[in-house]
């Protein structure tokens, strides 16, 4: 037999050592590597035909295939690509052609560190050699398109390989893997199918898997990949249905897509982006530590990984889709990828695409409402996370407002600006615990009376969000929960004369409140901003607000109790009545009653509600007895 034994170049020995001993964490990628080699070999053959032979043959796609079958303990990957002659076998499988790999090995050899760093492995393509992770022995039976002879390359990955002449009828390559006992999962048809679909679904060559067909009672090769990567096609050749079908292959139960965007970017960097906004939020999207974004990265149609940190900003993590680029090596590691410049470029591009897409979606109110209900609170995180796009984000924000009497109707900041009164110079908002308490807040009374719209905020994130939003188109935001609005806003002004008149009458009463509640409140003032309510409490602009204090205590921070400013409505019948009570002990009860009701309205809860109820019951009982 014409058999010759060769020794791997020393660098290959090192490489094999590293690959076999260190890449254990994700063994299944060997199949992706072999399939992509086969697909490359087929591309090379097409190119060969174009260049040297019959141009028409190039289009005969159906003639090309990658066949995979399992035979006892062998996994066999066959292609009818360009194949290799003897010289190519030696050059391609016996030494390293890639300079990057050499550099890597030099580094590795110099470090002489047996605890090879996994991050470094990603710097080179392990390619063909990854098959030794799962095989005791690898056979490569190949015939080049321009050679008469076929050859069999054999190695157990331990320093040597053999090449012998072996007849092969057609051009192409069969890679036969003697699967290790410890890697039996790669002899399982269903598992192989799963791996092919995961990594190689969109390779432009049919991948056929040999399986038993019960109907025909025989083994047949069945195509299992989609092969036709939708995103490669021209936009105008893709139907609506195809876009939606593709979305459904990407996601699980996320409703219909609300909108999508498909772009091919050419130039210094080339990539294709196809992204969708779902209509239902993934169930674990609020699990900040575990949730991975929905962007899958492909390199030349080969799936590389998903949920890569930084490929899309965290506040846009609900977007689903793919990015395909040819600017990265196949075997790049997650760590290197996350810090690579190309990820930055992709992130900027994807972010712009999403913001534009949302802008377009916002023209359809119904659809945008679905988006906002589902993802609005996540999207708001962008104000803090994405300073560069803060303005674009603020255009896309939606709020409940006093303009509507409904929790399900939203306004944009632009809507608000268009409705502002001529002399209004602020965007007013209120933050409360829920829609009803915001909508019915005593703070709103004077704004309603004066026909001034107020934005209603009641989500946990809102207080934090507003700390990043100073103004919109130059108009400042103003929280009406704060008492300073009396001074700073030019349309809500107090009717001083009315109040002054009252102040003399009420001076004594105010003094009594101050004395009684001195360790609970900051001060007491009169106000004419109330109508139906006798009292309200406020904080001042520079102080911590009620919602912020709640937010901080919810995350376990110990914060001092807020001392509120108690504002009194001198025109309210209760105030008129209480301020005239002479019995000191009864007056005290009434003052506590006023204080606790204002606290309840502001904070939505009391530390000791029974005490408050007892107090009311006591006052009422006394009145009845009288």
* Shortest Cβ 24–ligand ADP spacing (Å): 19
* Shortest Cβ 203–ligand ADP spacing (Å): 13
Smaller CB separation from ligand ADP, 48 or 404 = 48
Residue with token string 């290197």: 336
Q: What is the H or E stretch that residue 176 is in?
A: strand 172-179
Smaller CB separation from ligand ADP, 88 or 445 = 88
Q: How far apart are alpha carbons 271 and 275 in whole angstroms?
A: 13
Q: How far apart are alpha carbons 500 and 395 in whole angstroms?
A: 43
Tell me the number of residues near ligand ADP by CB under 6 A: 16
Smaller CB separation from ligand ADP, 128 or 314 = 128
Q: What is the DSSP string of 519-571?
A: TTEEEEEE-SS-SS-SEEEEB-TTSPPHHHHHHHHHTT---PPP-EEEEE-TT
435 binds ligand ADP (CB under 6 A): no
- Burial grade of 574 (CB within 10 A; 0-12, 13-18, 19 or more): middle
Smaller CB separation from ligand ADP, 125 or 294 = 125
Smaller CB separation from ligand ADP, 19 or 393 = 19
Q: Would you put residue 312 in left (φ > 0), alpha (ψ -120 to 50) or beta?
A: beta
* Shortest Cβ 8–ligand ADP spacing (Å): 12
Structure tokens at 8: 């791997």
- Contact set for ligand ADP, span 166-185 (CB under 6 A): 173
- Contact set for ligand ADP, span 15-54 (CB under 6 A): 33, 37-38, 41
Considering only 93, 224, 354, 457, the residue that binds ligand ADP (CB under 6 A) is 93
CB 453 within 8 A of CB 419: yes
* Shortest Cβ 31–ligand ADP spacing (Å): 12
Smaller CB separation from ligand ADP, 164 or 395 = 164
For residue 321, report the phi and psi dihedrals to the nearest 5 degrees. 160, -165
* Shortest Cβ 410–ligand ADP spacing (Å): 52
Smaller CB separation from ligand ADP, 173 or 200 = 173
Strand partners, 273: 263, 323
Q: How far is CA 273 from the centre of its chain?
A: 15
Structure tokens at 33: 């590597």
Identify which range of 77-85, 258-266, 421-429, 474-482 contacts ligand ADP by CB under 6 A: 77-85
Smaller CB separation from ligand ADP, 45 or 591 = 45
Smaller CB separation from ligand ADP, 83 or 257 = 83
Q: What beta strand segments (E) does 314-463 contain?
A: 320-325, 400-401, 426-431, 455-457
Smaller CB separation from ligand ADP, 231 or 303 = 303
* Shortest Cβ 395–ligand ADP spacing (Å): 46
Smaller CB separation from ligand ADP, 135 or 389 = 135
* Shortest Cβ 276–ligand ADP spacing (Å): 32
Residues 6+ apart with CB under 8 A from 176: 74, 75, 76, 138, 139, 140, 141
Considering only 15, 19, 23, 79, the residue that binds ligand ADP (CB under 6 A) is 79
Identify which range of 82-90, 211-219, 254-262, 610-618 contacts ligand ADP by CB under 6 A: 82-90
* Shortest Cβ 327–ligand ADP spacing (Å): 15
Considering only 81, 278, 313, 442, the residue that binds ligand ADP (CB under 6 A) is 81
Position of minimal CB gap to ligand ADP: 127
CB 147 within 8 A of CB 359: no
Alpha carbon distances (Å) from 155 to 93, 275, 313: 10, 44, 46
* Shortest Cβ 128–ligand ADP spacing (Å): 4
Smaller CB separation from ligand ADP, 37 or 432 = 37
377: nearest Cα among 451, 288, 302, 308: 288
- Contact set for ligand ADP, span 109-168 (CB under 6 A): 125, 127-129
DSSP 482: B
34: nearest Cα among 221, 145, 173, 204: 173
**Residue 472 DSSP SS3:** strand
* Shortest Cβ 329–ligand ADP spacing (Å): 8
Alpha carbon distances (Å) from 439 to 401, 434, 445, 603: 8, 9, 10, 14
Structure tokens at 77: 């990957």
Identify which range of 79-87, 201-209, 303-311, 416-424 contacts ligand ADP by CB under 6 A: 79-87
Considering only 61, 73, 92, 369, the residue that binds ligand ADP (CB under 6 A) is 92
Structure tokens at 589: 């009860």
* Shortest Cβ 131–ligand ADP spacing (Å): 9
* Shortest Cβ 101–ligand ADP spacing (Å): 9
Identify which range of 81-89, 191-199, 482-490, 506-514 contacts ligand ADP by CB under 6 A: 81-89
Q: How far apart are alpha carbons 538 and 483 in whole angstroms?
A: 5
Smaller CB separation from ligand ADP, 82 or 120 = 82
Structure tokens at 500: 């002054």
Residues 6+ apart with CB under 8 A from 37: 127, 128
- Chain contacts with ligand ADP (rule: CB under 6 A): 33, 37-38, 41, 79, 81-84, 92-93, 125, 127-129, 173
């Amino acid at each position: 037999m014409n058999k010759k034994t060769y020794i791997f170049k020393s660098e290959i020995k090192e490489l094999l050592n590293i690959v076999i001993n260190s890449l254990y964490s994700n063994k299944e990628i060997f199949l992706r590597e072999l399939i992509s080699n086969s697909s490359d070999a087929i591309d090379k053959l097409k190119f060969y035909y174009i260049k040297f032979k019959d141009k028409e043959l190039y289009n005969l796609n159906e003639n090309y295939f990658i066949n995979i079958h399992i035979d006892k303990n062998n996994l066999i990957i066959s292609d009818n690509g360009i194949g290799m002659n003897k010289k190519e076998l030696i050059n391609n499988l016996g030494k390293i052609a890639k300079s990057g790999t050499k550099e890597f090995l030099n580094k590795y050899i110099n470090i002489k560190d047996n605890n090879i760093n996994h991050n470094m492995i990603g710097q080179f393509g392990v390619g063909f050699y990854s098959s030794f992770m799962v095989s005791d022995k690898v056979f490569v039976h190949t015939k080049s398109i321009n050679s008469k002879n076929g050859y069999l390359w054999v190695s157990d990955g331990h320093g040597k390989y053999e090449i012998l002449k072996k007849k092969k009828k057609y051009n192409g390559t069969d890679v036969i893997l003697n699967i290790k006992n410890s890697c039996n999962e790669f002899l399982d048809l269903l598992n192989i199918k799963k791996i092919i679909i995961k990594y190689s679904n969109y390779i432009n060559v049919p991948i056929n898997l040999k399986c038993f067909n019960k109907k025909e009672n025989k083994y047949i090769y069945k195509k299992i990949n989609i092969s036709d990567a939708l995103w490669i096609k021209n936009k105008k050749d893709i139907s609506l249905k195809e876009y939606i079908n593709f979305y459904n292959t990407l996601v699980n139960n996320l409703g219909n897509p609300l909108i999508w965007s498909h772009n091919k970017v050419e130039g210094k960097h080339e990539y294709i982006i196809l992204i969708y906004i779902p209509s239902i939020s993934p169930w674990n999207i609020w699990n900040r530590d575990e949730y991975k974004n929905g962007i899958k990265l492909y390199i030349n149609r080969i799936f590389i990984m998903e949920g890569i940190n930084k490929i899309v900003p965290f506040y846009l993590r609900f977007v689903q889709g793919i990015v395909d680029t040819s600017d990265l090596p196949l075997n790049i590691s997650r760590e290197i990828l996350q810090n690579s410049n190309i990820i930055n470029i992709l992130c900027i591009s994807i972010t712009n695409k999403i913001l534009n897409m949302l802008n377009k979606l916002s023209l359809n109110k119904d659809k945008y409402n679905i988006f906002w209900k589902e993802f609005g609170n996540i999207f708001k995180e962008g104000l803090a996370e994405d300073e560069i796009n803060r303005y674009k984000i603020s255009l896309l924000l939606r709020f409940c407002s006093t303009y509507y009497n409904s929790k399900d109707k939203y306004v944009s900041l632009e809507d608000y600006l268009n409705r502002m009164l001529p002399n209004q110079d602020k965007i007013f908002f209120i933050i409360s615990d829920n829609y009803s308490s915001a909508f019915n807040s005593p703070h709103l009374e004077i704004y309603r009376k004066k026909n001034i719209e107020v934005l209603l905020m009641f989500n946990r994130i809102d207080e934090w969000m507003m700390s990043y939003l100073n103004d919109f188109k130059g108009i400042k935001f103003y929280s009406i929960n704060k008492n300073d609005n009396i001074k700073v806003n030019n349309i809500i002004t107090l009717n001083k004369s009315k109040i002054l008149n009252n102040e003399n009458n009420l001076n004594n009463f105010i003094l009594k409140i101050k004395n009684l509640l001195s360790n609970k409140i900051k001060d007491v003032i009169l106000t004419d901003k109330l109508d139906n309510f006798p009292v309200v409490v406020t904080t001042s602009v520079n102080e911590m607000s009620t919602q912020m204090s709640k937010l901080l205590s919810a995350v376990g921070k110990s914060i001092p109790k807020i001392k509120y400013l108690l504002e009194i409505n001198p025109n309210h019948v209760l105030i008129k009545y209480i301020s005239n009570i002479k019995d000191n002990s009864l007056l005290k009860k009434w003052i506590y009653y006023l204080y606790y009701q204002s606290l309840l309205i502001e904070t939505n809860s009391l530390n000791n509600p029974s005490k408050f109820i007892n107090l009311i019951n006591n006052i009422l009982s006394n009145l009845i007895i009288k």
